[in-house]
Amino acid sequence: MRGFGFCSPLRGLMVLAVFIAALSVLAADGARRGAIAQNGPKSVAPIAGRLIDAVVNISTSQHAKGPRGVPLPKVPKGSPFEEFFDDFFNQPGADEGIERRVSSLGSGFVVDGKEGLVVTNNHVIADADEIYVNFANGSKLKVEKIVGKDTQTDLALLKVNPKTPLKDVKFGSSETLQVGDWVMAIGNPFGLGGSVTVGIISAKERDINSGPYDDYLQTDAAINKGNSGGPLFNMDGEVIGVNTAIISPTGGSIGIGFAVPSDTALNVIEQLKLYGVTRRGWLGVRIQTVADEIAEDLGVPPNKGALIAAVEPDSPAAVAGLQARDVIVSFDGKDVSTMRGLPRIVAQTRIGKTVPVEIWRQGKAMSLSVKVGQLAEETGDAGILPSGDEPSAEDGETGPILGMTLSELTDDLRSKYSVDAHVDGVIVTEVAPESVAAGKNIKPGDVIVEAGQEQVRTPREVAESVERVQASGRQALLLRIEGKRGEVRFEALPIK
């Protein structure tokens, strides 16, 4: 202890205590570093080894007729090879009507080894005449039956007849995943079967505009062409997603891939197994986003919930008493944080179930009960349709009435603009360029059904609504508009 220069027993004890504390800090830091090394990237060989036999390659073929099976290179004018290509490949009618065989590759995974049930993407097997499931050991089985497929979530369930039970995998919960969790993809990229890649969950609830139920997991685990339909695993070896799409300007992985969450996929797969089709809940409303200016006029929280633009007659929503201008903020105990969240929640609700619905109506919170109906097959919207173009925040010069030339809805105008007989209101015949109406995408032929939450039938009534809004000090006039194709929406037009 001499080296520490102790001058007294007390001081020596103090220095000793400091030394012990320093050792404790170093030990804790070493443990922390060890934990980081242990929890960070490490070998996934043990997990991959026990899962890879359940991941399969899907090969398909179909017979098609067309001018050529393989696109030929474009030969520049004047090239020495131009005459060669003209002589051999560009003869009139040379390949017309010739039947050719088109093949494609994808991925999938076994979810029931005894029954021989395999999950993949619908687009992998679409229009195929023959489908084969190829296993990691080199064996393959012909698909005997497409049990069911769902175009809205791009999932399909296939059946093969194995002689002995196949290795299968189980679904885990995608709900418990957190951004940053490690995941592993196994699949058949570019025909290279059994490829394993690792990454993290980059984001959840991604909307890539592929359908009404978009709720994708985003991952940076390498996913390429041929990975479609393959599983995305968590580190417990459970399927938490079905790889479906990538964003790539090059055709290869740039670290932005998307997977259908397992909670969505499992619900669809169970229905395909039971019924051969999906059975989704139906509400029967047209909805849109609650924009800031609309929220102010309706007295509801902005950018929260789904604004009902129209209710279909005799639908579950109509029976329950839901009305246009209601804002749904909760359905079956689940928060509706955005417009796009509602179709997903309704679609996954059990048909025939009576559920509570929380709404805002005229600035006040209300509760209703609705009995969920069944959506007709393949409409894919849960009876919840976008009401039209999303509101724009642009402003501009005004016209006769906020940039619109209006007219009473005569028989001649109904005929000219193909307006249905049941529609009653004031028709827009002209919209001034760069006006507030043009900024909201209002077009000639649109019919203003309500202005300022009151029905209108003459241009004068619309003008009076503008005057009332100005007198009240509000910033925008709320219009309810019905378009040529029957789409109904609300627009809030700023008033200068």
Tell me: the pLDDT tens digits for 89-107? 445 554 555 555 656 789 9
Q: Which of 272, 350, 339 is nearest to 489 (CA)?
A: 339
Best CA proximity match to 466, nearest among 409, 398, 411: 398
Q: Which tokens is 318 given?
A: 């109509």
Report which DSSP code applies to 442: -
Among residues of the chain, what percentage have pLDDT more than 90? 36
pLDDT digits (tens, 9 = 90+) for 303-349: 788 899 888 888 999 999 999 889 999 999 999 888 888 988 998 89
Round to whole Å and give the CA distance between 212 and 375: 13
User: What integer pLDDT is reported at residue 2 of this predicted model?
Assistant: 34
Give yes or no for a contact between 438 and 471, defined as CB atoms under 8 angstroms apart. Answer: no
3-state secondary structure 321-351: CCCCCCEEEEECCEECCCCCHHHHHHHCCCC
Catalytic site includes residue 422:
no
| Residue type present at position 5 | G
Q: How many CB atoms lie within 10 A of CB 78?
A: 6
| Residue 191 DSSP label | G
Instruction: Catalytic residue, from 107, 123, 330, 435: name it.
Output: 123
- Average pLDDT value for residue range 70-98: 49
Q: What domains can you pick out in the chain, each with its CATH number? A: 182-275 (2.40.10.10), 281-386 (2.30.42.10), 404-494 (2.30.42.10)
Kindly state the tokens that stand for 471.
Answer: 């007198």
**Looking at per-residue confidence, does 398 or 162 come out higher?**
162
Q: Is 215 annotated as a binding residue?
A: no
Please report which confidence band the pLDDT of residue 64 belongs to, taking 50, 70 and 90 as the band edges. low
Q: Is the pLDDT of residue 390 over 80?
A: no
Tens-digit pLDDT profile for residues 182-230: 999 999 888 888 899 999 999 998 887 777 788 899 999 999 888 999 9
Cα(391)–Cα(295) distance, integer angstroms: 12
Structural contact between residues 359 and 320, judged by C-beta atoms closer than 8 angstroms: no
pLDDT score at 495: 78
Task: Specify the DSSP class assigned to residue 416.
Answer: H
What is the mean predicted confidence (pLDDT) over 18-43?
Answer: 54
Q: Which helix (H) or strand (E) holds 470?
A: helix 459-472
pTM of the model: 0.64
Q: How far apart are CA 175 and CA 263, in angstroms?
A: 7
Length of the chain: 496
User: Do residues 171 and 236 touch, judged by C-beta distance below 8 A?
Assistant: no
- 330, 366 Cβ separation under 8 angstroms: no
- Bigger pLDDT: 12 vs 145: 145
Residue 123 is labelled as binding a ligand: yes
Q: Is 267 exposed, middle or buried (0-12, 13-18, 19+ CB in 10 A)?
A: middle
Q: How confident is the model at residue 21 (pLDDT cuts 50, 70, 90)?
A: low
Give pLDDT, residue 39: 58
Which tokens go with 455?
């029905």
| Locus of tokens 């073929």 | 61
Q: Which pLDDT score, from 0 to 100, does residue 389 have?
A: 44
* Residue of 59, 104, 107, 154 with catalytic role: 154
The annotation status of 122 as a binding-site residue, yes or no, is: no
Own/partner long-range contacts of 196-203 (Cβ < 8 Å, ≥24 apart): 196/44, 196/48, 196/52, 197/221, 197/222, 197/223, 198/41, 198/44, 199/255, 201/177, 202/255, 202/256, 203/179
Name every residue whose Cβ is closer than 8 Å to that of residue 314 and which is 6 or more positions away in sequence.
none
User: Does the structure show a pLDDT above 80 at 269?
Assistant: yes
Question: Is residue 275 scored above 60 in pLDDT?
Answer: yes
Which among 59, 202, 228, 387 is annotated as catalytic? 228
What percent of the residues of the chain are helix, what percent strand, and what percent coil, each to the nearest 5?
25, 35, 45
Is residue 168 part of the annotated active site? The answer reads: no
Would residue 202 show up in a list of annotated catalytic residues for this protein? no
Using DSSP bridges, classify how beta strands 306-311 and 281-282 pair: parallel, antiparallel or unpaired: unpaired
Question: How far is the C-alpha of 92 from the C-alpha of 170, rounded, in Å?
Answer: 55
Cβ atoms of 494 and 476 within 8 Å: the answer is: yes
Is 297 annotated to bind a ligand? Reply is no
Helix and strand numbers, DSSP H then E, in the chain: 11, 28
The answer to whether 209 is annotated as binding is no
Phi-psi region of 240 (alpha: psi -120 to 50; beta: other; left: phi over 0): alpha
Q: Which has the higher per-residue pLDDT, 18 or 383?
A: 383
Q: What is the mean pLDDT of residues 5-22?
A: 46
